[in-house]
Amino acid sequence: MRKLALVLVLAMAVPAMATVTFTAVDNGDQTITISYSSDAGDAPRGVGLRVDVTAPVAVQLTEFAADAAYNTFIDYAHSNPLNFAVGDGHPFADATAAGALGEDAVTSFSISMGVLDEEGGQAAGPDAADLITFKLCGEGTVDVTISADTLRGPASGVVGSVIASNLETAPITLTGVNVVCGGEPACWSYDCHGFGDSDGDCDVDAADVGVAVGGWNNYEGTTNDIPNKCADTDSDGDVDAADIGNLVTGWNNGCGECTPK
């Protein structure tokens, strides 16, 4: 009987196993939102996520929105130990070592966030939240993979007493994320762009005609619509008859000396 009583006490002391489900959405404006939901049991007290990208991107360190409960950015605090206060900085971290992420373009980075209460003690976050929305800037489109950062925490990507997550079995991958954040796209600098070469291969062929058709009256200079922007052969903010004329010239005559991209 005494052994049975001891087993019951221990069972009551252990929190119910909680499973956290992470999701991610490409918002179509160079931003990604990572959310989670947790079933009954312990709520997350922090997260450590790794983000891998198929081409270099610059993480916009000041253009993010995090759930208010996640008020402590651990790696930023590590890099700024003398003047850090709760809520300061950003949650983006070096993927391979402790410390805040810098402004250089990268192909991997981490998201490291924790919850502190008013007394500075670790506390539980909400059962479900839009954890963070962040912005990536680069060229063209990229694939983005989100997984647990085992350098900073468990394979679940969640800090808590007894928590598992869907990241333990499969990362989340978003394909074809547009990361062009304004300004002139790379295609405008191609040697033959003025003659309709939208992909930088130094000829004007069916692929370029397809881009032009997609761009016809379907692009404004204030947007970041790729590949439609590449159909703008004169870089004047639209795809119109002048651009089609340039394409026809390139189709018939080529464009002369050109270095492929």
Three-state helix/strand/coil letters over 196-212: CCCCCCCCCCHHHHHHH
pTM of the model: 0.67
- 3-class SS at 22? strand
Residues 40 and 162 in one domain: yes
pLDDT at position 6 is 31
8 in a domain, yes or no?
A: no
Residues 39 and 154 in one domain: yes
9 in a domain, yes or no?
A: no
Which structural domain, as residue segments, surrounds residue 244? Answer: 186-253
Two tokens, residue 151: 């350098």
Kindly report the backbone phi and psi dihedral angles of residue 212, in degrees, each rounded to the nearest multiple of 5, phi listed first: -65, -40
Residues 159 and 245 in one domain: no
- Domain closes at, from 150, 178, 206: 178
CATH code, domain with 71: 2.60.40
Where helices occur in the chain by DSSP H, the ranges are 2-13, 74-79, 206-215, 241-253
163 in a domain, yes or no?
A: yes
How confident is the prediction along the chain (261 residues), in pLDDT tens digits per residue? 333 333 333 333 345 568 899 999 999 889 999 999 998 777 899 999 999 999 999 999 999 999 999 999 999 999 998 888 888 999 999 999 999 999 999 999 999 999 988 777 888 899 999 999 999 998 888 999 999 999 998 998 898 777 899 999 999 999 999 898 876 777 888 889 989 898 889 898 998 888 888 888 666 554 555 677 888 888 777 788 898 898 899 888 788 788 887
When divided into structural domains, the chain yields a total of: 2
Residues 39 and 121 in one domain: yes
Residues 207 and 142 in one domain: no
Q: What's the CA gap between 74 and 141, in Å, rounded?
A: 30
List, in order, residues 6 or more apart from 1 with CB less than 8 Å away.
none
Two tokens, residue 102: 């810098």
5 in a domain, yes or no?
A: no
Cβ–Cβ under 8 Å, residues 94 and 110 = yes
- 3-class SS at 95? coil
Residues 193 and 173 in one domain: no
